[in-house]
Each structure stands twice: as structure tokens, then as C-alpha cells.
Amino acid sequence: MKILHTSDWHLGHRLLEQSQQEEQSLFLDWLLEYIRQNNIDMLLVSGDIFDTGVPSAQGQKLYYDFLIHLRDTGCKEAVITGGNHDAPSTLNAPKELLNALSIRVVGKATENIEEEIFHLAINGEKIIVAAVPYLRDQDIRRAVASESSEEINNRYKTALIRHYTEAADCCRAINTSGMPIIALGHLFALGGSTSESEQTIYVGNLGDIGAEDFPPGFDYIALGHLHRAQTVGGKEHIRYSGSPYMLSFSEIGADKKVVVVETSEGKINKIEEVVVPRFRNICRVSGTVENCIRQLEKIDAEYHTLTPWVEVVLEDEQELAFEYKEISRAAEALDLEVLKVTLKNEHRREGLERLVENARDIKEITPEEVFRLKCKEQDFDLDNRPEMLNAFFEILQVVQENENA
């Protein structure tokens, strides 16, 4: 059996307010063709199908068109779980209809763990899938009055591990013939490498879930949330597939991938990363204004399917406004878009007002950055009061989840 693991499509995502619908569509077309040509039997999507809890009509059309055409590829089964960006109600609404098409959807944690477990058979070969979605705090942890931040951390982590343990126990109970067991998950696993495009999905230190915290018995764990393809804790069978296209300039230089897992006679005998084509050139140039303009002209001279998007990092010490005008004037005559212009040493500048002043788009500033800078301006020492940062993350998580509800 050949199984393809992907995640973090973020349909509807915009990079600095530029729509990424074109590369999203090209990726989904490529994925359908790859599944068809390589005889993929099962598709696993580990969360963050959409970028927001209220996806646009265009984003939903991309999703449902893909699912309609998936049946034409020869893929027999698909399992899709919700991520922290997904609204469970949006994913779960058509689940009964999709189930009739052998597309299993779990938008949020279920009260009965058995509803997250699927016993599937393809061409005579059987497999068990634990489709664990993003586990929201309120779905798995019961609040206790007057809990300290450490108690909140420990109680959530314990509840999260317990959920995976219950799923593993349920899988083992029905595994009477030595079938492979695969789990899905959408979380931050300790040791994973992040990029700027992931939103915090844990409170304080609640992300400290390591490879050793997953219960034994899973032959492969297909994770989502981190946008760089990687293993967890050096374990080859615990992997993030990463996002299939760049969601921030911090991901420049990293190949985008999906993962193909092959099983035979009840065992996983091959795990292979497959590089996804780059449908849009998203790149960074740096140097003096003159050097950057020459690099932009070189990009313009190359053939591109989609208009390239560029970040310019200037080494000059002049005012950014003046240099930005120079870059903008040069870019107007070129077939590319300069989305971001910064100074190389900009990160050394301090102060919330300076950060906001020099950010071309509010999405460049994370809520955590604003909070830390505001605390610094108010002479509030976060290093000696870590419980305040925990409280901030808890509030942030509630706000983000309400936005995606």
C-alpha cells in the first residue's frame, strides 16, 4: 500500500496581502497528477486545510474540486483532520457525504475516541488510522479553579498525551492480525524547526511534547503544523510533511515536500520525501541599492510561470524611505513584485513604534513581538515573571480559537 502524507495547505493564505490562490491551485493539480501516476492508495492530510476559520468561496472551491477529482486518480481512501486554523464546523459539515466517497474527516476531538479510529482495507491489505485532529485545550482538559500556570501546563500536556494513549490502545484492541497503525496529529513537537508563518498553538510551554511522549505502537505518525519538512527527535517514523509551498519569506531555501509511506505484509518498509515543484519564485536579494537592482534585473530576465515575489534586504545605512523609493522605481519596469524592503540591521532597532513604523504590513509583526516590546517599554521584566507570558499565550490561544470557531 502506498500512502501520501501532506498538511498545512492553508488555502486562502495571502503572503503580505498577495493572494496565493494561483500556486495553491497549481499545487493541488500537481498533487492529483502525482497520486495518479504513482498509484497512491491513501491520502493523509494532517490539518490546516484552510488559512482561516471562515474560508473564502475560492478556497472552499479549491478544496472540494480537489476531493471530487481525487476519486478519478485511483486513490481509494483519504483521511483529513482539522488544524488550529480550521473551524471544526466547516470541516465536519459535509463529513457524512464525504464518508460515502471514502473520505474520512475529523474536524475536532470526539467524545468517543473510537470515532477517530478507522479500520481500512485496500486491495486486500488492511491498515488502522488514528485520525487525531488539533487538540484544543477546552476539548481535552477540564478547567480547575485557581490553577497556577505550571498546573495548567502540566494538566494540558497530560491530557494531550492521554488522548494519544487512548487512541493507541483503541488501535491495538482491534489490531488482531498485525496491521500497520498510523496516527495523524497537528501540534508542536519539541525539537521541531519553525518558520515565521506558524501561529502559536500552545499556552506557554505546552508545546513541549517530544518524540518520547507519543505512545508506542504507532508505525508512522503523520504530523502537521510546522511548515518545514522534518523528523521529530531523530525518529524517522515521526514526521512533519511541512507546507507544500512557501508561506513566509523565512522559508526561502527550504524544499517543500510531501511524504510517501509504503507498507507491505503488516509493516512499513519505506518512507520517502518527495520534493514539490516550486510554482512561484519567492526569493530574497541583499546588498547595496545598486546590487539589489542588478539582482532584480537578473530575476526579471529569467522565465517564470507566475510573477516572482521578492524581499529586498538593504545593507545601506541611509533612510529606508529613500532607498525604498529607489527600489520601487526600478521594480516598476520589471516583471516581478517587491513585497518587502528592510535594512539588514533593522532587527537591532528597538521600540514598538519603530517596529510598527517600518513594517510595510501588519502581518510582519507577531502578537508575541508586540507583547514583549510593550513589556520592555513599561520596564516589566518577563524573564523574572514567566507566568505573565504564559497568561498572554493562554489569552492569545482563546482569541485565535474563537476566530476560527
- CA 140, CA 404: separation in Å to the nearest integer? 18
DSSP, collapsed to helix, strand or coil, labels residue 285 as strand
> Could you tell me where in the chain the CATH 3.30.160.720 domains are found?
282-403
- The CATH superfamily label for domain 2-275 reads Metallo-dependent phosphatases (3.60.21.10)
Q: With contact defined as beta carbons under 8 Å apart, do 244 and 25 qualify?
A: no
Q: Which pLDDT score is estimated for 398?
A: 60
Tens digit of each residue's pLDDT, the chain (405 residues): 999 999 999 999 999 989 999 999 999 999 999 999 999 999 999 999 999 999 999 999 999 999 999 999 999 999 999 999 999 999 999 999 999 999 999 999 999 999 999 999 998 899 999 999 999 877 776 555 445 555 666 777 888 999 999 999 999 999 988 999 999 999 988 754 555 555 555 444 444 578 899 999 999 999 999 999 999 989 999 999 999 999 998 899 899 999 999 999 889 999 999 999 999 999 999 998 999 999 999 999 999 999 999 999 998 666 667 778 889 999 999 999 999 988 876 544 445 555 554 454 445 566 777 787 778 766 777 776 665 766 676 676 666 656 555
Position 80, amino acid? I
φ, ψ for residue 153, nearest 5 deg:
-55, -50
> Is the CB of residue 323 less than 8 Å from the CB of residue 316?
yes
Are residues 282 and 270 in contact, defined by beta-carbon separation less than 8 angstroms?
A: no
Give the span between the Cα atoms of 220 and 261, in whole angstroms: 9
Q: Which three cell numbers stand for residue 28?
A: 493541488
Residue 334: the pLDDT is: 95
Burial of 142 (C-beta count, 10 Å sphere; 0-12/13-18/19+): exposed
Where exactly does CATH 3.60.21.10 map onto the chain? 2-275
Q: Which fold has domain 282-403?
A: Double Stranded RNA Binding Domain (3.30.160)
Q: Are 397 and 202 in contact (CB under 8 A)?
A: yes
Residue type, 22: E
H runs (alpha helix) in 73-181: 88-92, 95-99, 137-140, 149-174
Vertex 261: Cα angle to 124 and 160 (nearest 5): 100
| Nearest-5° Cα angle at 384, 382 to 389 | 35
Report the 10 Å Cβ neighbour count for 15: 21
Helix (H, G, I), strand (E, B) or coil at 274: strand
